C-alpha cells in the first residue's frame, strides 16, 4: 500500500483460496499491520494451517483470524 494508506481488516471469504494462494497472501500482508483476517469458506487444508502457524509466529499484528468452513482437521 502506498501513499500512507493502511489496511487493518481483510475479508476474503468465499474466494476459493487454496494453500498456494494462502501462501502468496501471507507474503503480501507480512509486516503490513493487518489485525483482522477472515478466510471463511475457502479451500485451505492442514498445509495452509501450517503456513498460518509460521506466519503467526513471525507477525504479531494479526489478532483475529476466522477459518470457519475450510478443510483443516
CA 19-68-52 angle, 5° bins: 40
Q: Supply the pTM of this predicted model.
A: 0.89
Task: Look at residues 22, 25, 64 and name the one whose alpha carbon lies nearest to residue 42.
Answer: 22
**Bridge partner list, 10:** 37
Q: Which residues contact 13 (CB under 8 A, 6 or more apart)?
A: 38, 39, 40, 41, 42, 66
Q: Return d(Cα 68, Cα 17) in angstroms, integer.
A: 13
The tens place of each residue's pLDDT in the chain, 73 residues long, gives 456 667 899 999 999 999 999 999 999 999 999 999 999 999 999 999 999 999 999 999 999 999 999 999 8
Amino acid at each position: 500500500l502506498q501513499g500512507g494508506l493502511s489496511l487493518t481488516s481483510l475479508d476474503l471469504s468465499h474466494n476459493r483460496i487454496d494453500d498456494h494462494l494462502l501462501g502468496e497472501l501471507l507474503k503480501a500482508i507480512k509486516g503490513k499491520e493487518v489485525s483482522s483476517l477472515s478466510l471463511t469458506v475457502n479451500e485451505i487444508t492442514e498445509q495452509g494451517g501450517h503456513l498460518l502457524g509460521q506466519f503467526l509466529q513471525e507477525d504479531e499484528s494479526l489478532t483475529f483470524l476466522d477459518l470457519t468452513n475450510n478443510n483443516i482437521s
